[in-house]
Amino acid sequence: MWGSRRRRHGLFSISNCRYLLITSCLIHAIQTLHLCEAQSTDEQALLAFKAGISSDPSRVLAAWTPTNSSMKNNICRWKGVSCGSRRHPGRVTALELMLSNLTGVISHSLSNLSFLHTLNLSSNRLSGSIPSELGILRRLQVISLGENSLTGEIPASLSNCARLTHLELQLNGLHGEIPANLSNCKELRVFNISVNTLSGGIPPSFGSLLKLEFFGLHRSNLTGGIPQSLGNLSSLLAFDASENFNLGGNIPDVLGRLTKLDFLRLASAGLSGKIPVSLFNLSSIRVLDLGNNDLSAVLPADIGFTLPRIQSLSLYNCGLKGRIPMSIGNMTRLHLIQLHINNLQGIAPPEIGRLKDLEVLNLQSNQLEDKWDRDWPLIQSLGNCSRLFALSLSYNRFQGMLPPSLVNLTIWIQQILINGNKISGSIPTEIGKLSNLRVLAIADNALTGTIPDTIGGLHNMTGLDVSGNNLSGEIPSLLVANLTQLAFLDLSQNELEGRIPESFENMRNIAILDLSYNKFSGMIPKQLVSLSSLTLFLNLSHNTFSGPIPSQVGRLSSLGVLDLSNNRLSGEVPQALSQCQAMEYLFLQGNQLVGRIPQSLSSMKGLQYLDMSENNLSGSIPDYLSTLQYLHYLNLSYNQFDGPVPTSGVFNDSRNFFVAGNKVCGGVSELQLPKCSGGNRLHKSRTVLIVSIAIGSILALILATCTFVMYARKRLNQKLVQRNETPPVPKLMDQQLKLSYAELSRCTDGFSTANLIGVGSFGSVYRGTVGNEEQEVAVKVLNLLQHGAERSFLAECKVLKSIRHRNLVKVITACSTIDHSGRDFKALVYEFMPNRDLDRWLHPSTGEGGERSSRTLTMAERVSIALDVAEALDYLHNHGQVPIIHCDLKPSNVLLDHDMVARVGDFGLSRFVQGANSNSFQPIANTTGIKGTIGYIPPEYGMGGGVSVEGDVYSYGTLLLEMFTAKRPTDPLFQGGQSIRSYVAAAYPERVTAVADLSLLQHEERNLDEESLEESLVSVFRVALRCTEESPRARMLTRDAIRELAGVRDAYG
């Protein structure tokens, strides 16, 4: 029996084992089936993502191909894909394809990756919107989509991702408001939406994100102030809301509660009120930047003890008063101090010299002083700062001798700016020890003595400005022979003498050279005028140069401004000048030139300003001068010309040319010249001739007296500017009309509202008349209480002195002085544009009288204006040694003259773009950031100073869309993800007339068949859409835009 039982038990055991084995196999098979199905779903999602990629030049996704059943977990080996290992093997948990150079869109199929916790597609070229379906991925922890070209709104559905810790969407083109319900993501540690075109404010509900550590809102177009609730973010380490220019409001005192705060940047945010004292008690802070706001504060005396970890202190242009506390010397970790453009007074504390890690010190444009006769304690103490490379003390009240301890600064110093003080004495010869110095600017002081030879040992020098002093002697030969990297050299307004060294030929990088208002003599070296690098400005005026103008002057083929006036040059005007095809301003007046004006000058098609007055030129006035279509100022007075005066071109308006003191006849009736006749000479004619000569002599005497008075007034104004510590106006052209505050006030009727023709970001524009001929001008008066106005003034002066083009606004002069109350006064005087700006023609105000209310721009006028603006941009971007980026192109900055020719203006935000190896002069510590106008700003701006010509092209494309639709890019129509570009793109090319300006269609239907009009609109919109591509690399070149629009003009005409 026992044996029988044993056999039955054995059978039972074998049966159980078989059952268990079969069950196990079934379970495994089911699991495998589910896994395969899940993997298939993940694979399909990834392949759908790949399908949305239109360009993969690095072949990152090349191995992403459909798997077969024999290759288990193949997708987990795809590049950028990570899978789970334990509980969910084979399921995609991370997709990381950053810096892969991918172009395309983000597929909504990624929402099928249900186990995904990391999505990193940053630093690619992805466009389109962020899929709202990502909100169903409940395991998602990291979303990093920064540095792409994404558009649309931030999906509110992301608030469902309860485990989200990182949301990084910076450097895209997103719009709309920040979804308030993102505050539901309580695990959020990093939130970065910097550099987007959002709207609305910072949601107060974000104050509940108690784990938030990084809060990045830089340049996102936010408004509405900083919510008080942010004072609850107890874990916050970094907060950046800078360059939200209209954020507004005060700085909440509760930010001082954030005891872990390490980085606080609120610069250029339109903030006002007082700086909370609590911010100066944030002992953890390393970076504090509140610059360029309408704030006020006195630096606490104990700031050096309350901010022990501070490394970067930027409180520029934010209303600081009082003194710089001596305790600043205790901030031993500081490497950057920016306190410029404030009202700081008193002695600059030498305790700054304790900061051994200091790299940049910018104290310019304050009222700081140092009065020691032998040395400046500050400069002496800075010898301890072994890492200092940039120092600016310009426009303060430093006086006395240039301290000898200047040469004890670290040999690593690269920039020293001490313009506009009251420094006397000589330039120390030991300056040559600063072997790494690149920029030395000590202009507008009272320096005497000679320029030391030792400067010639500074081989890395790219910019030298010692203008506006009393330096004497000759130009050191070593300076010219050795400083081969110089791009900018200004020795003007001194007492320098002698001959110009022939070794100037070694300066192969010089672009701007100003030697005017000195006592140089001898002949102009042919080596100097052979420098092809001179592309912007060569000024040798007001010296005693003699002999002929070298024929080698023709090698200056790219030079824009040549000024040889008021010397003793003789001989004929060289034929070779005709080779200077880029020249727009030529000044030869006040010399002893003879002969005829060469016929070859007729090839200088771009000439705008020509002055040959007060020479001994003879012959007839060449007819070809009337054919130079861009010539708008011509002065041939006081020569020996005879014969008829032409009546067309520049000679058509007596306000634009001057021929007094010659033997000419005819011309326009306003000249009241004798008729050109061949009749007998009567006694009466002789009497008229004698009387004319007498009157001419009297007029010449009056002119000479006026010239002397204007020169004396100029020097007096310069002294007034120096005494009131206002920065001097950058020199534009010495021949420009000089106007005082009193004259500007008089010509605008005391800046009356009756003459007010416009109000801008930094000031007001008035209409006025100046001179005996009552020339109409536009006077732009800067509101210096508006932060950024002075910077805008200096930037505009800098740009305007470097550019000359028929489609750029023409500056007549600039004024920097004091008003009747003793306050600083700055103004720019422009040629008046009778047809005002393009914005008024596209969007006339209700009830606006005059021509604009009675007619609109025709198709031909719009195309012509578009071409003019494109020509201006092409010049700025491509026809100088250094490209100039306008940064604020929009209809209100396009002005229209009497003939409806467009002139681009307002260069207050413009930037010179430096290449990595650029030798161009650049101010230190430029933290202003690039501004612009919402709707015209390209989405990619903000990447570390990355302004570009492509950015201007984007603004131009937007302007084109506005010109031909008459809709602003900020029109209420463009909401919910739509933009002016998408509005036109949706109708292009079949329905372009549906989006075109209705008034344009109504006007043109009388003059052009519908088919021709539609073809023209298609061509224009094609240019506009290509200019506004999301990717900067895909945008049209300006020269291509000019070619296509010229084709439209020619076909239309």
The CB density around residue 662, as the number of other CB atoms within 10 Å, is 22
d(CA 360, CA 357): 10
Q: What would the mean pLDDT of 893-903 be, rounded to a whole number? A: 90
Q: Is 1040 part of the annotated catalytic residue set?
A: no
Instruction: List residues forming the annotated binding site.
Output: 780
- Long-range Cβ contacts of 624-630 (<8 Å, 24+ apart): 624/599, 625/597, 625/649, 625/650, 625/651, 626/650, 626/651, 627/602, 628/602, 628/604, 629/605, 630/584, 630/605, 630/606, 630/806
**997 φ, ψ (degrees, to nearest 5):** -60, 125
Whether 519 and 606 map to the same domain: the answer is yes
Q: What would the mean pLDDT of 902-916 be, rounded to a whole number? A: 63
d(CA 392, CA 395): 9
Whether 741 and 691 map to the same domain: the answer is no
Domain count of the chain? 5
pLDDT value at 726 more than 50: no
Q: Which residue has the higher pLDDT, 957 or 507?
A: 957
pLDDT value at 117 more than 70: yes
903: CATH:
1.10.510.10
pLDDT value at 25 more than 80: no
Kindly state whether residue 325 falls inside one of the protein's structural domains: no
pLDDT per position as a tens digit, 600-649: 899 998 898 999 999 999 999 999 999 998 898 899 999 999 999 999 99
Whether 766 and 695 map to the same domain: the answer is no
Q: What would the mean pLDDT of 968-997 be, rounded to a whole number? A: 84
Kindly state whether residue 816 falls inside one of the protein's structural domains: yes
Contact between 747 and 769 (Cβ < 8 Å):
yes
- Residue 764: in which H helix or E strand, if any? strand 763-770
pLDDT value at 560 more than 90: no
d(CA 253, CA 230): 11
- Residue 767: in which H helix or E strand, if any? strand 763-770
Kindly state whether residue 707 falls inside one of the protein's structural domains: yes
Whether 740 and 701 map to the same domain: the answer is no
Task: Give the contacts of 918 (CB within 8 A, at least 6 positions apart).
Answer: 882
pLDDT-based confidence at residue 1018 (cuts at 50, 70, 90): very high
- Residue 563: in which H helix or E strand, if any? strand 561-563
pLDDT value at 373 more than 70: no
Last residue of a domain, one of 143, 168, 199: 199
pLDDT at 958: 95
Q: What would the mean pLDDT of 26-46 be, rounded to a whole number? A: 64
pLDDT value at 24 more than 50: yes
Q: Pick the closest to residue 780 from 753, 815, 746 (CA basis).
A: 815
**To the nearest 5 percent, what fractions of the chain are helix, strand and coil?**
30, 20, 50
pLDDT at 821: 64
Kindly state whether residue 254 falls inside one of the protein's structural domains: no
pLDDT per position as a tens digit, 797-851: 666 665 677 888 887 787 877 776 667 788 888 888 888 889 889 988 644 333 4
d(CA 33, CA 194): 45
Whether 664 and 809 map to the same domain: the answer is no
d(CA 280, CA 316): 16
Q: If you ran DSSP here, which 8-state letter would residue 378 be given?
A: H
Whether 926 and 961 map to the same domain: the answer is yes
- Which residue out of 42, 888, 952, 997 is catalytically annotated? 888
Last residue of a domain, one of 158, 180, 199: 199
Q: What would the mean pLDDT of 959-974 be, rounded to a whole number? A: 88
Pairing of strands 287-289, 263-265: parallel
The lowest-confidence range among 177-191, 457-471, 678-692 is 678-692
The CB density around residue 744, as the number of other CB atoms within 10 Å, is 24
Domain that holds residue 97: 30-199
Kindly state whether residue 591 falls inside one of the protein's structural domains: yes
Whether 564 and 691 map to the same domain: the answer is no
pLDDT value at 280 more than 90: yes
- Residue 815: in which H helix or E strand, if any? strand 811-818
Whether 778 and 901 map to the same domain: the answer is no
pLDDT per position as a tens digit, 296-355: 999 999 999 999 999 999 999 999 999 999 999 999 999 999 999 899 999 999 999 999
pLDDT value at 692 more than 50: no
Instruction: List residues forming the annotated binding site for ATP.
Output: 780
The token pair that represents 65 in the structure block: 């191909």
Task: Give the contacts of 84 (CB within 8 A, at least 6 positions apart).
Answer: 90, 91, 93, 115
Kindly state whether residue 211 falls inside one of the protein's structural domains: no
Whether 642 and 652 map to the same domain: the answer is yes
The token pair that represents 1039 in the structure block: 């020269």
- Residue 768: in which H helix or E strand, if any? strand 763-770
Whether 910 and 1048 map to the same domain: the answer is yes
Q: Among positive and negative, which fits the CA dihedral 733, 738, 740, 745?
A: negative
| Residues pairing with 153 in the sheet | 175
Last residue of a domain, one of 617, 646, 675: 675
pLDDT at 1007: 55
d(CA 43, CA 572): 82
pLDDT value at 223 more than 70: yes
Contact between 139 and 163 (Cβ < 8 Å):
yes
Pairing of strands 763-770, 663-666: unpaired
**Strands in 202-352 per DSSP E:** 214-216, 238-240, 263-265, 272-274, 287-289, 294-298, 312-314, 320-322, 336-338, 343-347
The pTM of the full predicted model, rounded to 2 decimals, is 0.63
Whether 871 and 775 map to the same domain: the answer is no
Whether 718 and 793 map to the same domain: the answer is no
Kindly state whether residue 435 falls inside one of the protein's structural domains: no
Average pLDDT score over the chain: 83
The lowest-confidence range among 16-20, 219-223, 778-782 is 16-20
Q: Which residue has the higher pLDDT, 859 or 854?
A: 859
d(CA 205, CA 214): 16
Percent of the chain beyond pLDDT 70? Answer: 81
Exposed, middle or buried: residue 35 (CB in 10 Å: 0-12, 13-18, 19+)?
Answer: middle
Contact between 271 and 294 (Cβ < 8 Å):
yes
pLDDT-based confidence at residue 791 (cuts at 50, 70, 90): low
The lowest-confidence range among 2-11, 134-143, 466-475, 937-946 is 2-11
The token pair that represents 496 in the structure block: 């320098």
The token pair that represents 290 in the structure block: 């509140």
**390 φ, ψ (degrees, to nearest 5):** -140, 125
765: CATH:
3.30.200.20
| Residues pairing with 271 in the sheet | none
**Strands in 596-679 per DSSP E:** 609-611, 616-619, 633-635, 640-645, 657-658, 663-666
pLDDT value at 712 more than 50: no
pLDDT at 233: 97
Task: Write the DSSP string, 158-221.
Answer: GGG-TT--EEE--SS--BSPPPGGGGG-TT--EEE--S----S---GGGGG-TT--EEE-TTS-
Q: Pick the closest to residue 872 from 968, 1027, 880, 836 (CA basis).
A: 880
Query: What would you measure as the largest C-alpha separation in the chain, in angstroms?
Result: 169
pLDDT at 402: 81
d(CA 1043, CA 790): 38
pLDDT at 678: 57
d(CA 158, CA 193): 14
pLDDT at 200: 95
Exposed, middle or buried: residue 695 (CB in 10 Å: 0-12, 13-18, 19+)?
Answer: exposed
pLDDT value at 471 more than 60: yes
d(CA 863, CA 1024): 12
How far CA 556 is from CA of 562, 574, 678, 812, 875, in Å, comes to 9, 13, 44, 25, 18
Kindly state whether residue 213 falls inside one of the protein's structural domains: no
d(CA 559, CA 536): 6
578: CATH:
3.80.10.10
Pairing of strands 287-289, 312-314: parallel
